[in-house]
């Protein structure tokens, strides 16, 4: 396949994500305006980027925008955040910038996946089919969910297709297969870096692989450590068991050094700051998934894995090729990381799924997949092959179809009303980075980190340090029983969402100076 055909195939396989972004922008209630944030968590990352725009003096690191404390230390760094900040500095809309970035990363990630397949299967006639199965293949979670919702009591869904979520964590947004993660812009970016590392190793470009490994490490804690553990495990196997001389010893040492730096930065340096240590405690939650989910999610690639072992038995035969050993290490280690609550205190175990378990097993089982396709074609059982292909793609066919059939008619981070836009515009023009938002306007408190120079005392549930305590502190201030000492020299903006019930009594002096009001919000400056 020529480069031009590879690019065309990459763009074609990007269509589900492209349609998803187009739906976001064009299929919604006329009373709402799309922000470009196709997932509520996407606001986080542009909030980080906006920190660079609020700095009095440029620093390569940034602070936690959800801290609400102007003394919050600049201790965080991700290379792509500076790029996104630069695009916003040039005047690009934050949400559009993020969505466009996600589409570019999606196409690049798919392109690199095809390049890896071409390296493994040079000149193969079925490349388009194999690339489609790798990009959008999955398991049987959707079909298992539909069966469960139909036959298990208490799991009935109003819309039959919503049953697909029963066996797919967070309505499928955790991405148990490879392609699903491409719907999240930064995940597409992390997956691109992961595949780039794998491709460089397959091509034995060790210097470039070491550099990209470091780049991935400083880009994301979970994906970074997942890649490093997989590669270190593979290197140990190659050097100690198979005596592989093609891997330079300096590369093995480099991976150990990058791993040590990764652990030092994310577990030691950041935790030396009390502000981050609170976040680390909040992050260390037992988000996991059961084997009842893992079985349908990985059933097809797991069966193909065992078929591959059978076809190439004994063990020495199917482990004779270094890249096969790499893929097997990839699949097994990623799975164990995704279930690390079996061994240690859980820290979001499900964060290690993200399609990595599935992709490692798929690439290891590739010889069995090719054998099955050839066998069915030779036996002229194309109808069986078509059923198999549909089953392989069913998770993402049904999930994407359900995603695209809806119309956005409710206000959320992705689609906001004119009243919410007007509040954010007012705050952007009148509030500074030293000011503070309080009140019950949850949506404004969250989006203010992207669209204004100020931020809220209580915002994101996991990135706000000691959120429960802060909510109590804010309640005391609103009742005017006590004023926090570090608030005394700061200008407060009390933003009240009139559409929400609010049981906290607000003292009359705080409501004396009204500066803004529309049908949905009122802003006071106490």
Compute the average pLDDT of residues 407-423.
Answer: 94
Structure tokens at 45: 């990352």
Q: What is the pLDDT of residue 407?
A: 82
d(CA 496, CA 498): 6
The DSSP call for residue 512 is S
Q: What is the DSSP string of 288-311?
A: ---HHHHHHHHHHHHHHHHHHHHH
Token representation of residue 134: 């790798």
Average pLDDT, integer, range 123-140? 96
Whether the CB-CB separation of 125 and 118 falls below 8 Å is answered with no
- Among all chains, which residue has been given the structure tokens 């997989």? 230
Does residue 483 surpass a pLDDT of 70? no
CA atoms of 8 and 436, how far apart (whole Å): 49
- Domain ranges in the chain are 103-405, 415-524
Nearest to 159 by CA among 411, 397, 403: 403
- Average pLDDT (491-506) is 85
Q: Pick the residue with more confidence: 463 or 417?
A: 417
3 state DSSP class of 124: coil
Cα first-last separation, the chain: 67
List, for residues 317-348, the tens digit of each pLDDT value: 888 999 999 999 999 999 999 999 999 888 88
> What strands, in cross-sheet order, belong to the sheet with 455-456?
455-456, 436-439, 492-497, 521-524, 514-517
Structural tokens at position 235: 């290197």
| Statement: residue 210 has pLDDT above 90 | yes
User: Which uninterrupted H or E stretch holds 84?
Assistant: helix 79-89
Average pLDDT of the chain is 92
What is the per-residue pLDDT across 213-246, written as a single tens digit (0 to 9) for each? 999 999 999 999 999 999 999 999 999 999 999 9
Distances (CA, A) of 39 to 107, 394, 502: 19, 23, 27
């Amino acid at each position: 396949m020529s480069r031009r055909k590879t690019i065309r195939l990459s763009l074609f396989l990007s269509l589900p994500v492209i349609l998803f972004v187009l739906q976001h922008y064009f299929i919604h209630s006329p009373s709402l305006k799309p922000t470009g944030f196709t997932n509520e968590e996407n606001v986080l990352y542009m909030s980080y980027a906006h920190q660079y725009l609020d700095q009095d003096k440029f620093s390569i690191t940034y602070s936690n925008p959800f801290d609400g404390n102007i003394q919050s230390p600049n201790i965080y760094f991700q290379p792509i955040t500076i790029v996104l900040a630069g695009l916003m500095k040039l005047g690009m809309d934050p949400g559009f910038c993020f969505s466009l970035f996600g589409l570019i990363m999606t196409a690049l990630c798919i392109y690199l996946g095809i390049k890896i397949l071409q390296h493994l299967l040079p000149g193969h006639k079925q490349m388009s089919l194999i690339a489609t199965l790798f990009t959008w293949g999955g398991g049987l979670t959707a079909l298992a969910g539909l069966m469960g919702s139909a036959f298990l009591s208490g799991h009935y869904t109003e819309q039959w297709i919503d049953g697909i979520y029963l066996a797919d964590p967070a309505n499928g947004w955790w991405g148990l297969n490879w392609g699903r993660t491409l719907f999240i812009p930064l995940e597409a970016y992390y997956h691109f870096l992961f595949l780039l590392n794998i491709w460089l190793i397959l091509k034995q470009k060790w210097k470039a692989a070491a550099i990209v490994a470091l780049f991935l490490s400083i880009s994301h804690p979970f994906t970074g450590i997942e890649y490093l553990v997989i590669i270190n495990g593979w290197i140990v196997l190659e050097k100690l068991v198979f005596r592989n001389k093609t891997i330079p010893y300096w590369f093995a040492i480099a991976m150990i050094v990058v791993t040590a730096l990764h652990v030092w930065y994310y577990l030691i340096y950041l935790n030396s700051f009390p502000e981050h240590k609170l976040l680390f405690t909040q992050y260390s939650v037992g988000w996991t998934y059961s084997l009842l989910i893992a079985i349908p999610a990985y059933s097809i690639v797991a069966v193909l894995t065992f078929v591959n072992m059978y076809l190439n038995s004994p063990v020495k035969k199917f482990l004779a090729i270094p890249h096969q050993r790499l893929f097997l290490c990839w699949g097994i280690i990623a799975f164990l990381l995704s279930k690390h609550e079996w061994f240690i205190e859980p820290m979001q175990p499900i964060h290690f799924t993200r399609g990595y378990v599935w992709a490692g097993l798929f690439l290891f089982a590739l010889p069995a997949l090719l054998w099955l396709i050839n066998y069915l074609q030779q036996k002229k059982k194309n109808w069986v092959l078509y059923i198999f292909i549909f089953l392989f793609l069913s998770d993402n066919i049904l999930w994407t179809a359900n995603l695209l059939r809806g119309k956005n008619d409710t206000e959320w981070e992705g689609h906001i009303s004119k009243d919410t836009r007007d509040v954010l515009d007012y705050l952007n023009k009148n509030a500074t980075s030293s000011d503070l938002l309080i009140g019950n306007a949850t949506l404004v408190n969250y989006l203010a980190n992207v669209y204004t120079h100020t931020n809220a005392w209580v915002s994101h549930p996991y990135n706000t340090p000691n959120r429960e305590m802060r909510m109590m502190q804010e309640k005391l201030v609103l009742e005017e029983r006590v004023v926090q000492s570090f608030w005394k020299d700061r200008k407060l903006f009390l933003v009240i969402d009139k559409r929400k019930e609010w049981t906290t009594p607000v003292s009359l002096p705080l409501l004396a100076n009204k500066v803004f009001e529309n049908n949905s919000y009122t802003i006071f400056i106490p």
